[in-house]
């Protein structure tokens, strides 16, 4: 038999290579459906396929039954499980493996230029007690193949060729009526994205998130990634090496991951939007839209109006954390957590760059989780603390470097309180002073005591100069508003933490807490369409 794994290399680069939302939507839809294409093309080759999408397929895997069906030629390949952007498949023999791959890769090359598929298969002897050995060998082969593969290369161009600036590829499509030129990759994404718009109301309305120039031309990309997935899998399979148990457990695990991070998490976003609509403050109704760009296991990325980015991110993280208490995996209660990065940017700025900064902000948000002091269970396995954290960045200009380098160069890293903890008790990671409720409480108290936008902006600018300058500017505000000093200092155990929180609030104050309220009108500044 052949144990095989499929993936698409550089998925985020493929999706966000364009700055046009319809092409991004199309790229994400192609990635979403790419493994379905594998099974469809295999069936067209005459192979008998069994996938987990078929409700008649049992989640309990029985290797002996599969081997018997392979032998009788009543089955040629079976989907074991999918997750983390990978598809794991078991084939009856190498001939079936080659037939499916030949049809699959030819179709992707012809229909979806720019995709970089990777498939690795290894022969396995069918020993029912050697799942760990076989899977470890497969992962080793995958790593070797990844290192051998060339990185995604641009299509070669002649000096006189016209170039598509979004994909850096030759122009192959022109609409002279509408004066539109695209590469083959961009055109395919556009067509798929157009189909998505007709089938999905959110995709149809995302072009209208931007409602006017200035603050209302701000969007946010939110990238969230689950915590401790490797530890969870290790704990789940601990002490087991047989195919039946391990494959069945992985099937239920990946299904639970999808339920927690995609279904429950996105439901949390929708619920929060309904609450925001009920609390509507005269905003344009088109602001209440979002678009999920990536939803792959514990990895979720969505785009929304910048004003609602913090509220929707908190809602997503809390929804993920709430899943699992009442759901069992193999008889054990499971809890889940995720960390998120938010990048606020102007709609004309390249999506790909904004996504990279959101991803880097997510990595910074994960630092406290990675530094958590691990507990151990009765078997001595690590049991990490499940906490959700978020970090954010306001992209003011087109600085093309890493997020930490941007903060170091602007000399603002030491001014910031972020990342903030959204869920968890903080026993091992920062205590209560890092709870995002403290962030909200600080801003609400500031406003209730009479503090103005100008005051907090001046304080933020002063802290960028030095801590002494910030303290001086804050003392001037304290002198004007007598009750503010005592109340603000009562929120935090560490006064330096208060200073950093005020800096975070000053940077995002106009967007999240108290800037000019938008006017409801029909005039739109549509910078992300066509």
Helix/strand/coil (H/E/C) assignment for every residue in 273-296: HHHHHHCCCCCCHHHCCEEEEEEE
Considering the domain boundaries, does residue 87 fall inside one?
yes
Residue from 165, 222, 530, 219 nearest 347 by CA: 219
Assess whether 211 and 143 both reside in one domain: no
167 domain residue, yes or no: no
Question: For position 357, what pLDDT does the model report?
Answer: 92
Please report which confidence band the pLDDT of residue 16 belongs to, taking 50, 70 and 90 as the band edges. Answer: confident
Residues 244 and 370 in one domain: yes
Which pLDDT tens digit goes with each residue over 205-252? 555 555 555 446 788 999 999 988 888 888 888 778 899 999 999 998
Within a domain: 519: no
Choose one of 148, 163, 181: the last residue of a domain.
148
Q: What would the 3-class secondary structure string for 75-116 be? A: CCEEEEEEECCEEEEEECCHHHHHHHHHHHHHHHHHHCCCCE
Encode pLDDT of 92-135 as tens digits: 999 999 999 999 999 998 899 888 899 999 999 989 999 999 99
* Token pair of 288 as six digits: 């209440």
> Is there a domain that residue 408 lies in?
yes
The predicted pLDDT at position 391 comes to: 96
* Contact between 501 and 489 (Cβ < 8 Å): no
On whether residue 193 sits in a domain, the answer given is no
Q: Which two tokens stand for residue 454?
A: 């100008």
Per-residue tokens: 130 = 């050697």
Q: Given this model, what pLDDT does residue 351 score?
A: 81
User: Could you give the dihedral angle defined by the CA atoms of residues 25, 26, 32 and 35, in that order, rounded to the nearest 10 degrees?
Assistant: -170
**One domain for residues 136 and 213:** no
Separation of alpha carbons 276 and 314, rounded Å: 13
Specify the CATH number for the domain of residue 91: 3.30.70
> How far apart (Å, rounded) are the C-alpha atoms in residues 69 and 92?
9
User: Is 397's pLDDT higher than 80?
Assistant: no
- CA 464, 347, 153 angle in degrees (round to 5)? 100
pLDDT > 70 fraction of the chain, expressed in percent and rounded: 84
Q: 140 and 224: one domain?
A: no
pLDDT at 84 over 80: no
The arithmetic mean of pLDDT across residues 388-404, rounded, is 83
Digit-coded pLDDT (tens) for 147-184: 887 665 555 666 667 777 666 677 777 777 767 788 87
Q: How many domains does the chain have?
A: 2
Mean pLDDT of 72-93: 91
CA–CA dist 377, 386 (Å, integer): 15
pLDDT band for 516, please (50, 70, 90 cuts). very low
Instruction: Please state the φ and ψ torsions of residue 124, each to the nearest 5 degrees.
Output: -130, 150
Is residue 523 in some structural domain?
Answer: no
Task: Tell whether 251 and 367 lie within a shared domain.
Answer: yes
In this structure, the answer to whether residues 287 and 372 fall within a common structural domain is yes
Whether 82 is in a domain gets the answer yes
User: For residue 145, what is the enclosing H or E element?
Assistant: helix 131-148
Q: Specify which of 129-133, 145-149, 325-329, 408-412 reaches the highest per-range mean pLDDT.
A: 129-133
What stretch of H or E contains 479? helix 467-480
Same domain? 285 vs 407: yes
Query: Do 15 and 302 form a contact (C-beta atoms < 8 A)?
Result: no
156 in a structural domain: no
Long-range CB pairs of 71-79 (<8 Å, 24+ gap) are 73/48, 74/48, 75/48, 75/50, 76/42, 76/47, 76/48, 76/49, 77/42, 77/47, 77/48, 77/49, 77/50, 78/49, 78/50, 78/51, 79/39, 79/49, 79/50, 79/51, 79/52
Q: Are residues 323 and 388 in the same domain?
A: yes
Contacts of 37 (CB under 8 A, 6+ apart): 104, 107, 108
Question: Are 27 and 14 in contact, with CB atoms under 8 Å apart?
Answer: yes
* CATH code where residue 333 lies: 3.30.70.270
Confidence of residue 469 (pLDDT cuts 50, 70, 90): very high
Contact between 502 and 457 under an 8 Å Cβ cutoff? The reply is no
Please enumerate in sequence order all residues whose Cβ is within 8 A of that of 450, keeping only pairs 6 or more positions apart, or say none: 480, 481, 484
Residue 222's domain comprises 202-514
Q: Are residues 450 and 329 in the same domain?
A: yes
Residue 321 — pLDDT band, cuts 50, 70, 90?
Answer: very high
Predicted local confidence at residue 114, as pLDDT? 84
**Among 104, 126, 148, which residue terminates a domain?**
148
pLDDT of residue 443: 93
DSSP string, 308-367: GHHHHHHHHHHHHHHTTTT-EETTEE----EEEEEEEEETTS-HHHHHHHHHHHHHHHHH
Q: Does one domain contain both 339 and 472? A: yes
Say whether both 140 and 258 belong to one domain: no
- Do both 21 and 131 map to the same domain? yes
The whole-angstrom separation of Cα 315 and Cα 305 is 15
């Amino acid at each position: 038999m052949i144990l095989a794994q499929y993936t698409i290399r550089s998925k985020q680069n493929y999706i966000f290579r364009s700055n046009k939302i319809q092409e991004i939507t199309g790229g994400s839809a192609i990635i979403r459906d790419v493994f379905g294409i594998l099974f469809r093309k295999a069936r067209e080759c005459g192979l008998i396929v069994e996938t987990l999408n078929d409700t008649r397929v049992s989640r309990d895997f029985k290797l002996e039954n599969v081997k018997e069906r392979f032998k009788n030629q009543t089955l040629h390949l079976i989907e074991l499980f999918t997750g983390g952007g990978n598809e794991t498949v078991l084939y009856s023999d190498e001939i079936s493996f080659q037939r499916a791959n030949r049809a699959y890769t030819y179709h992707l090359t012809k229909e979806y230029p720019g995709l970089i598929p990777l498939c690795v298969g290894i022969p396995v002897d069918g020993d029912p007690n050697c799942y760990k050995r076989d899977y470890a060998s497969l992962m080793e082969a995958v790593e070797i193949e990844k290192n051998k593969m060339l990185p995604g290369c641009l299509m070669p161009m002649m000096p006189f060729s016209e170039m598509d600036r979004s994909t850096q590829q030759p122009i192959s499509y022109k609409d002279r009526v509408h004066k539109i030129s695209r590469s083959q990759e961009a055109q395919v994404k556009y067509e798929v994205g157009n189909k998505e718009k007709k089938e999905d109301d959110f995709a149809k309305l995302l072009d209208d998130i931007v409602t006017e120039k200035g603050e209302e031309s701000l969007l946010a990309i939110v990238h969230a990634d689950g915590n401790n997935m490797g530890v969870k899998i290790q704990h789940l399979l601990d002490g087991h090496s047989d195919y039946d148990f391990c494959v069945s457990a992985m099937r239920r695990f990946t299904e639970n991951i999808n339920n927690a991070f995609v279904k429950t998490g996105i439901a949390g976003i929708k619920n929060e939007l309904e609450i925001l609509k009920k609390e509507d403050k005269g905003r344009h109704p088109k602001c209440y839209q979002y678009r999920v760009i990536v939803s792959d296991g514990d990895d979720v990325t969505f785009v929304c109006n910048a004003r609602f980015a913090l509220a929707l991110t908190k809602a997503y993280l809390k929804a993920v954390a709430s899943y699992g208490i009442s759901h069992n995996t193999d008889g054990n209660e499971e809890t889940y957590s995720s960390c998120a990065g938010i990048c606020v940017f102007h709609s004309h700025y390249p999506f790909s760059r904004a996504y990279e900064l959101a991803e880097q902000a997510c990595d910074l948000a994960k630092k406290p989780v990675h530094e958590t002091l691990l507990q151990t269970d009765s078997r001595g396995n690590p049991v990490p603390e499940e906490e959700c954290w978020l970090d954010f960045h306001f992209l003011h200009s087109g600085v093309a470097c890493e997020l930490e380098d941007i903060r170091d160069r602007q000399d603002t890293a030491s001014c910031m309180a972020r990342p903030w903890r959204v869920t968890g008790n903080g026993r091992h990671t920062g205590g209560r002073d890092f709870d995002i409720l403290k962030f909200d409480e600080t801003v609400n108290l500031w406003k209730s005591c009479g503090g103005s936008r100008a005051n907090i902006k001046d304080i933020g600018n002063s802290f960028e100069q030095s801590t002494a300058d910030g303290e001086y500017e804050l003392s001037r505000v304290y002198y004007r508003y007598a009750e503010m000093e005592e109340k603000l200092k009562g929120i935090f155990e560490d006064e330096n933490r208060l200073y950093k929180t005020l800096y975070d609030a000053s940077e995002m104050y106009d967007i999240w807490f108290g800037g000019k309220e938008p006017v409801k009108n029909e005039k739109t500044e549509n910078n992300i369409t066509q």
